[in-house]
């Protein structure tokens, strides 16, 4: 990923107290909606589980747990997300499964107040409410949120913040491990041979080396013709610069360059 | 040093950091041990340095992306969420909140609006000449008959085992209404609509019950008097806090709109906290005292005392203080 496609990839740059800047990828609706639905399922499960346990308690000891159940329902309804995000470092179970985390917009962790705020204001993001009759026809009563506000607001700002996020100064970032690729293995002996024909003082500059490694990581997904097509722009000037035969395979030349830039010891 | 060699050297460190991140994510902090944590910090700094020099080392873009993710993940473990600052809650509720409410035009506006609509609606519902079927139009026929059913028997104290259940039910229902008014205030119009709806609805119920030809009225007022002040004030307060939130991005006082909203959100959250405390108190009174057989004067006295407490809270604690 090069520097100029930050905007394409929705990443946010954070400067840490160590004076390092690194990038987070902001989570969009396709991660956050499943996380929300999972959390919703967990909420129902918690309430059902509590009802079941209290039911057993009642049948065993005659202790009526209705009051506790209603209070639990109230707490789960309004403070489930807030409490989890406070004590679980910005994650709820659903967010954890989807690998996302809530952070302050300056990259700091959130505090309890922010967590509560953004979860209470979710009500607004779930608006507008639509009567079920409009969706399922006559005879079905009740209202359902359709969440248009929460879907449209994130589109209008660079951090994908819904209204609750904007008010509490938070954002949701993707946090998962990225696969670490090794340097691309070179099993092409001819490319290594070709690399030795380069002038010894030839240095690959930064921009070229970035392009080279991007090419090498993806070349196995291209057809032979496409490889030639892409490599030509760099290969043709280099061939004339190095006085190499015109009919050298462009792709092999790229491999040789890569070998020279990333693998081979210099000055041998 | 060539990139291949460099990556080989650093990879050990990165993997170790990754494993430590996993441990920190899964276990409680105390179980990790100081030595591991300092090792973690060391590795984190090393990874930061590698990332900072990635361009100079000519590390491949894919690895750079890996490093961004790794540093981000470690960063989130090093700087963890701060929990509630419970120590400052008392000061917040007793000093900051009343001061803020006293000067808050939005709370005042909501107060006037809620009570205006409430009184108007109650007056229309009582009167049999101005708008004869106002109460029937606002409250549906079912709601009226249910209301009459609920208060058909004199309040003589019910089976005491229901009290905690009802108290928690009131906490759940009323606080939810308050939180809805608060959150709806962010978009101004939903908040105003919810507040006005509640005011008109409650006003119509009160007005209907106050009609001389409704025999259940006496029981109704016997029931609602004690908890009324806390509950209605809490609704006004949460709607006012929500309205303040909504106006903050419309009238941003020279700040950027989002910044103004953020600043106001921090200020209004304690107001909502105060409203929730009032809802809890109201629910306790409504659950335990209101349905009991305690004579009406005692309940009225509770209402007077709680109104006095609220006035003291808003005016005495809220009056702008001189000095630092």
Do A79 and A34 fall within a single domain? Answer: yes
pLDDT tens, position by position, A92-128: 999 999 989 998 888 888 888 889 999 999 988 888 8
User: Residues 1 to 20 of A: which have CB under 8 A from any B CB?
Assistant: 1-2, 14, 16, 18, 20
Structural domains counted in chain A = 2
ipTM score of complex: 0.82
What residues pair up with B82 in beta bridges, in sequence order?
A111
Work out the number of other CB atoms within 10 angstroms of the CB of residue B251. 10
Which candidate from A22, A67, A265 shows the least CB-CB separation from B164? A67
Which candidate from B4, B14, B266 shows the least CB-CB separation from A113? B266
Do A85 and A120 fall within a single domain? Answer: yes
How many angstroms away from the CA of A100 is the closest CA of chain B? Answer: 11
Percentage of chain A with pLDDT > 90?
Answer: 19
> Is the pLDDT score of B316 beyond 50?
yes
Compare all CA atoms of chain B with the CA of A71 and give the residue at the minimum distance.
Answer: B168
- Confirm whether A268 is domain-assigned: no
What pLDDT, on a 0 to 100 scale, did the predictor assign at position B200?
93
What pLDDT, on a 0 to 100 scale, did the predictor assign at position A187?
66
What pLDDT, on a 0 to 100 scale, did the predictor assign at position A242?
79
Lowest-confidence range among A187-201, A207-221, A239-253, B298-312? A187-201
Do A124 and A13 fall within a single domain? Answer: yes
Asked if B58 lies within 8 A of A2 by C-beta distance, the reply is no
User: Residues 209 to 238 of B: which have CB under 8 A from any A CB?
Assistant: none
Mean of pLDDT over chain B: 85
Q: How is chain B split into domains, by residue range? A: 3-78, 87-316
> Is the pLDDT score of A1 beyond 50?
no
Do A54 and A100 fall within a single domain? Answer: yes
Which candidate from B18, B63, B266 shows the least CB-CB separation from A177? B18
Question: Which of the four pLDDT bands, split at 50, 70 and 90, describes residue A268?
Answer: very low
Question: Which of the four pLDDT bands, split at 50, 70 and 90, describes residue B65?
Answer: confident
Do A107 and A38 fall within a single domain? Answer: yes
Mean pLDDT of all residues in B223-246: 90
What pLDDT, on a 0 to 100 scale, did the predictor assign at position B28?
65
Do A37 and A161 fall within a single domain? Answer: yes
> Is the pLDDT score of B106 beyond 60?
yes
How many angstroms away from the CA of B155 is the closest CA of chain A? Answer: 22
Q: Tell me which residue range forms the domain holding A163.
A: 3-174
Asked if B70 lies within 8 A of A177 by C-beta distance, the reply is yes
Instruction: Count how many Cα atoms sit within 13 Å of the Cα of residue B6 in the half-sphere of its side chain.
Output: 19
Smallest Cα–Cα separation from A84: which of A56, A103, A112? A112
User: Residues 161 to 220 of B: which have CB under 8 A from any A CB?
Assistant: 161, 164-165, 167-169, 171-172, 175-176, 179-180, 182-184, 186-187, 190
- Confirm whether A76 is domain-assigned: yes
pLDDT tens, position by position, A126-159: 888 888 887 777 777 778 888 888 889 888 888 8
Q: Which of A106, A139, A174 is the last residue before a domain boundary?
A: A174
DSSP string, B127-188: -SSSSTTHHHHHS-HHHHHHHHHHTSS------TTHHHHHHHHHHHHHHHHHHHHHHHHTTS
Rounded to the nearest 5 degrees, what angle is found at the Cα of B102, between the Cα atoms of B100 and B103?
70
Question: How much is the pTM?
Answer: 0.81
Do A150 and A210 fall within a single domain? Answer: no
Distance CA B21, CA B224 (A): 56
Do A167 and A252 fall within a single domain? Answer: no
What pLDDT, on a 0 to 100 scale, did the predictor assign at position B73?
85
Do A157 and A245 fall within a single domain? Answer: no
Distance CA B15, CA B50 (A): 14
Do A46 and A138 fall within a single domain? Answer: yes
Asked if A70 lies within 8 A of B18 by C-beta distance, the reply is no
Do A149 and A44 fall within a single domain? Answer: yes
3-state secondary structure of B80: coil
Work out the number of other CB atoms within 10 angstroms of the CB of residue B278. 26
Asked if B179 lies within 8 A of A120 by C-beta distance, the reply is yes
Distance CA A104, CA B90 (A): 26
Distance CA A57, CA B254 (A): 58
Beta strands in chain A (DSSP E): 11-15, 21-26, 100-104, 129-131, 143-145, 170-174
Residues 6+ apart with CB under 8 A from A222: A230
What pLDDT, on a 0 to 100 scale, did the predictor assign at position B129?
84
Asked if A120 lies within 8 A of B272 by C-beta distance, the reply is yes
Do A136 and A232 fall within a single domain? Answer: no
Percentage of chain A with pLDDT > 70?
Answer: 91
């Amino acid at each position: 990923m090069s520097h100029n496609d930050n905007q394409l990839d929705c990443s946010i740059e954070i400067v840490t107290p160590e004076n390092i800047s690194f990038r987070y990828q902001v989570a969009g609706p396709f991660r956050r909606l499943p996380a929300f639905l999972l959390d919703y399922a967990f909420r129902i499960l918690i309430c059902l589980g509590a009802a079941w346990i209290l039911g057993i308690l009642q049948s065993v000891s005659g202790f009526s747990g209705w009051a506790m159940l209603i209070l639990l329902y109230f707490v789960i309804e309004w403070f489930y997300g807030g409490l989890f995000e406070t004590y679980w470092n910005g994650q709820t179970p659903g967010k954890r499964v989807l690998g996302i985390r809530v952070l302050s917009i300056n990259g700091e962790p959130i505090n309890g107040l922010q967590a509560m705020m953004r979860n209470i204001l979710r009500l607004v993001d779930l608006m507008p409410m639509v009567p079920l009759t409009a969706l399922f026809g006559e005879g079905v009563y009740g209202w359902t949120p359709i969440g248009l506000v929460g879907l449209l607001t994130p589109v209008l700002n660079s951090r994908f913040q819904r209204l609750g996020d904007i008010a509490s100064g938070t954002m949701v970032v993707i946090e998962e491990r990225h696969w670490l690729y090794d340097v691309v293995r070179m099993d092409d002996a001819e490319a290594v041979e070709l690399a030795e024909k380069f002038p010894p003082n030839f240095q690959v500059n930064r921009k070229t080396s970035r392009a080279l490694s991007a090419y090498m990581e993806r070349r196995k997904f291209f057809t032979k013709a496409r490889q030639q097509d892409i490599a030509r722009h760099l290969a043709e000037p280099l061939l004339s610069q190095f006085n190499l035969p015109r009919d050298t395979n462009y792709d092999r030349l790229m491999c040789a360059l890569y070998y020279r830039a990333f693998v081979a010891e210099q000055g041998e | 040093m060539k990139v291949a060699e460099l990556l080989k050297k650093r990879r050990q460190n990165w993997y170790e950091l990754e494993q430590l991140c996993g441990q920190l994510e899964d276990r409680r902090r105390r179980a990790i041990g100081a030595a591991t944590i300092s090792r973690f910090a060391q590795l984190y700094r090393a990874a930061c340095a590698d990332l900072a020099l990635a361009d100079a080392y000519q590390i491949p873009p894919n690895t750079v992306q890996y490093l961004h993710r790794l540093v981000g993940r470690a960063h989130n473990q090093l700087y963890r969420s701060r929990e509630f600052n419970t120590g400052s809650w008392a000061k917040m509720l007793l000093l900051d909140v009343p001061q803020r409410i006293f000067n808050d035009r939005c709370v005042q506006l909501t107060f006037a609006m809620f009570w205006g609509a409430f009184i108007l609606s109650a007056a229309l519902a009582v009167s049999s000449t101005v708008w004869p079927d106002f109460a029937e139009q606002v409250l549906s026929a079912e709601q009226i008959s249910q209301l009459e059913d609920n208060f058909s028997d004199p309040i003589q104290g019910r089976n005491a085992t229901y009290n905690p259940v009802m108290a928690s039910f009131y906490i759940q229902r009323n606080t939810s209404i308050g939180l809805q008014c608060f959150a709806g205030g962010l978009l101004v119009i939903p908040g105003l609509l919810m507040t006005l709806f509640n005011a008109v609805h409650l006003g119509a119920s009160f007005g209907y019950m106050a009609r001389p030809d409704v025999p259940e009225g006496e029981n109704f007022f016997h029931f609602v008097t004690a908890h009324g002040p806390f509950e209605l004030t809490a609704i006004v307060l949460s709607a006012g806090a929500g309205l303040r939130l909504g106006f903050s991005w419309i009238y941003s006082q020279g700040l950027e709109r989002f910044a103004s909203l953020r600043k106001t959100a921090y200020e209004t959250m304690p107001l909502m906290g105060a409203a929730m405390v009032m809802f809890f108190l109201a629910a306790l009174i409504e659950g335990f005292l209101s349905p009991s057989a305690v004579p009406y004067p005692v309940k009225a006295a509770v209402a007077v005392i709680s109104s006095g407490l609220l006035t003291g809270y808003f005016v005495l604690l809220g009056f702008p203080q001189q000095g630092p």
